[in-house]
């Protein structure tokens, strides 16, 4: 059995004359006297353009018509973004007030949901919700919240049967407005053929990946830019062009415009739904709400962003180019840098993962030592004045084979004898001598009063200097 979409497209492909078209719209040639296009008709009154976004493609169409000297403006936007699709219509009056809106989205299983909104000068109805069923063969929904029985898409001329048993509401509007709306819809369908031609003619954009914001936002690729996707979307626009306008749904005054939208979007949106389904040309690989190219890799499903074919996902945060390493914080480390637990490091990483980054730290046999402390036998000495004993490790004062404790001096280095300073004196580090309290120990056995030691450039003797 043929799929409904195949049968539908064959029906759309049948030739139809302008007179037949008007009959199917429920109008007549005589009626067209009340409907006039604005003086600047044709290409001057309609425009179509397609534009790529982060992970999608948007096609926008605008057209203008005139009814009894009043302008009407139609705006249609079809967005294929990530794994979502929306086909939105809006018609405004001469004061740019919207009074006819429609939004179509694909549902699972290939069905389509269409929501309409109406405002003055259309009176009598406010909303219409429609859903295709039975694989696209039927329509069901509700008019202003009143459900009606489903009907076959081939039975548009049958009156709606409301489940509450009440009749159709009385719908009114200015003369000539209903057919003008339907014709605007027709023009949007036919006008998009120029977008289809542009998409087919455009070369494939191989931008690779593009940055969304900072590297913390990651990078993303857009499979909608691929030629296969452009051709698929262009074919959807062409299918709708072949069909033009079909029958009017039996709702007074706006029925032909509604019927036109239904026939314009059911095949269109269903076709776009196929193009954008997982594994199809516009979404080779799904990534949450986004899509990746065939050679891309999903970076973060929660954001729907992907990495390019030569990039490597890094912690769900960014994409690293070939040759770069991924750091635990989600940054990419350039060649020559080590990857430590706190990010990229231009020095060595300690065994605990920390970066021994100069000038504050340096690498010491698996540890990071402060630049003020010595590295001794695989340990960072706890005091800046500590010395490294060849056998005992970090030592406040080296005294031959022994190590003197804090507050002691070496009395006999040959025998390793340590001792305290006399009362009122303090030890001079590892010099084995003492200076009176309040005086500074300077090299060369000098004890003096001052803020720092400095060697006299003339005599070579060490002296104390004061901060000015």
Cβ–Cβ < 8 Å for 129, 104: no
Same domain, 291 and 269: no
DSSP strands (E only) in 331-371: 332-333, 338-340, 343-345, 361-364, 367-370
Four-residue CA torsion sign, 455, 459, 464, 467: negative
Same domain, 322 and 269: no
Token pair, residue 421, equals 């300073």
- DSSP string covering 92-109, please? E-TT--EEEEEEEEE-GG
Residue 461 lies inside a defined structural domain of this protein: yes
Bridge partner residues of 183 (DSSP) = none
Please name which of 131, 164, 132 lies closest in space to residue 147, comparing C-alpha atoms: 164
Same domain, 48 and 146: yes
Q: How many CB atoms lie within 10 A of CB 391?
A: 9
Residue 256 lies inside a defined structural domain of this protein: yes
* Cis bond upstream, residue 359 (ω within 30): yes
Q: Which residues contact 217 (CB under 8 A, 6 or more apart)?
A: 211, 303, 305, 318
At 467 the pLDDT is 87
Question: What are the backbone dihedrals phi and psi of residue 230, each rounded to the nearest 5 degrees, phi first?
Answer: -60, -45
Cβ–Cβ < 8 Å for 91, 72: yes
Residue 152 lies inside a defined structural domain of this protein: yes
Residue 364 lies inside a defined structural domain of this protein: no
Same domain, 260 and 292: no
Same domain, 290 and 271: no
Specify the number of domains making up the chain: 3
How far is residue 141's CA from residue 131's CA, in Å, rounded to a whole number?
6
Same domain, 413 and 440: yes
Question: Of the residues 220, 242, 275, which one is the last residue of a structural domain?
Answer: 275
Same domain, 187 and 80: yes
Question: Of the residues 275, 306, 323, which one is the last residue of a structural domain?
Answer: 275
Cα angle for residues 416, 420, 426 (degrees, 5° grid): 120
Token pair, residue 148, equals 């009606």
Same domain, 221 and 242: yes
Residue 131 lies inside a defined structural domain of this protein: yes
Same domain, 231 and 130: yes
Same domain, 270 and 289: no
How far is residue 121's CA from residue 181's CA, in Å, rounded to a whole number?
12
* Matching residue, tokens 């926008």: 60
At 221 the pLDDT is 65
What is the 3-class SS of 66-78, one letter each residue? EECCEEEEEEEEE
Query: How many residues appear in the chain?
Result: 468
pLDDT by residue, tens only, the chain of 468 residues: 443 333 333 333 333 333 332 232 222 222 222 222 232 333 337 788 888 766 688 888 888 888 778 889 999 898 888 778 889 999 999 999 999 999 998 887 778 899 999 999 999 999 999 998 887 788 899 999 999 999 887 777 778 899 999 999 989 888 888 888 888 877 777 777 777 776 766 544 433 333 333 233 333 467 888 888 888 888 887 765 544 445 677 787 788 888 878 877 777 787 888 888 889 998 999 888 888 888 888 999 988 888 888 888 999 988 898 889 999 888 899 888 999 988 899 999 999 999 999 999 999 999 999 999 999 999 999 988 888 998 999 998 888 999 988 888 888 888 999 989 989 998 887 677 899 999 999 988 899 999 999 999 999 999 999 987
Question: Of the residues 275, 298, 319, which one is the last residue of a structural domain?
Answer: 275
Domain limits for position 123: 4-275
Residue 430 lies inside a defined structural domain of this protein: yes
Same domain, 326 and 247: no
Cβ–Cβ < 8 Å for 417, 410: yes
Residue 253 lies inside a defined structural domain of this protein: yes
Residue 416, SS3 per DSSP:
coil
DSSP 8-state secondary structure symbol assigned to residue 380: E
Long-range contacts of 461-466 (CB under 8 A, 24+ apart): 464/440
Residue 425 lies inside a defined structural domain of this protein: yes
Same domain, 270 and 300: no
pTM of the model: 0.59
């Amino acid at each position: 059995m043929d799929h409904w979409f195949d049968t539908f497209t064959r029906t759309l492909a049948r030739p139809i004359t302008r007179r037949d078209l008007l009959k199917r719209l429920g109008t007549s040639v005589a009626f067209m006297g009340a409907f006039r296009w604005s003086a600047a008709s044709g290409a001057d009154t309609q425009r179509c353009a397609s534009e790529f976004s982060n992970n999608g493609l948007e096609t926008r169409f605008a057209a203008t018509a005139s009814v009894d000297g009043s302008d009407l403006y139609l705006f249609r936007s079809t967005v294929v973004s990530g794994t979502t699709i929306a086909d939105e219509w809006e018609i405004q009056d001469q004061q740019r007030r919207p009074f006819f809106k429609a939004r179509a989205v694909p549902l699972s299983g290939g069905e389509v949901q269409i929501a309409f909104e109406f405002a003055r000068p259309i009176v009598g109805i406010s909303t219409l919700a429609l859903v295709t069923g039975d694989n696209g063969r039927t329509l069901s929904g509700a008019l202003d919240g009143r459900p009606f029985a489903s009907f076959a898409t081939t039975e548009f001329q049958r009156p709606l049967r409301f489940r509450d048993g009440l009749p159709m509401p009385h719908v009114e509007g200015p003369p000539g407005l209903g057919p003008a709306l339907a014709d605007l819809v027709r023009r949007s369908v036919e006008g998009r053929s120029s977008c289809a031609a542009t998409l087919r003619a455009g070369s494939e954009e191989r931008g690779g990946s593009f940055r969304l914001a900072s590297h913390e936002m990651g990078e993303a690729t857009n499979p909608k830019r691929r030629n296969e996707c452009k051709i698929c979307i262009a074919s959807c626009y062409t299918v709708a062009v072949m069909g033009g306008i079909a029958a009017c749904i039996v709702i007074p005054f706006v029925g032909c415009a509604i019927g036109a939208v239904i026939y314009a979007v059911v095949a269109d949106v269903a076709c776009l739904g196929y193009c954008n389904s997982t594994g199809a040309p516009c979404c080779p690989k799904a990534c949450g709400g986004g899509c990746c190219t065939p050679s891309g890799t999903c970076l973060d499903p929660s954001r729907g962003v992907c990495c390019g074919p030569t990039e490597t996902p890094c912690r769900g945060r960014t994409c690293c180019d070939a040759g770069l390493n991924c750091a635990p914080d989600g940054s990419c480390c350039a060649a020559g840098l080590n990857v430590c637990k706190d990010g990229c490091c231009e020095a060595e990483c300690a065994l605990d993962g920390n970066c021994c980054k100069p000038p504050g730290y340096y690498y010491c046999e698996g540890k990071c030592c402060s630049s003020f402390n010595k590295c001794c036998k695989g340990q960072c000495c706890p005091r800046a004045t500590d010395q490294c004993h060849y056998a005992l490790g970090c030592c406040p004062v080296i005294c031959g084979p022994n190590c003197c404790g804090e507050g002691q001096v070496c009395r006999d280095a040959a025998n390793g004898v340590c001792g305290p300073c006399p009362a009122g004196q303090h030890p001079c580090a590892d010099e084995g001598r003492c200076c009176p309290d309040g005086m500074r120990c300077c090299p060369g056995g000098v004890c003096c009063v001052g803020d720092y030691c400095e060697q006299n450039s003339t005599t070579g003797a060490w002296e104390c200097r004061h901060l000015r």
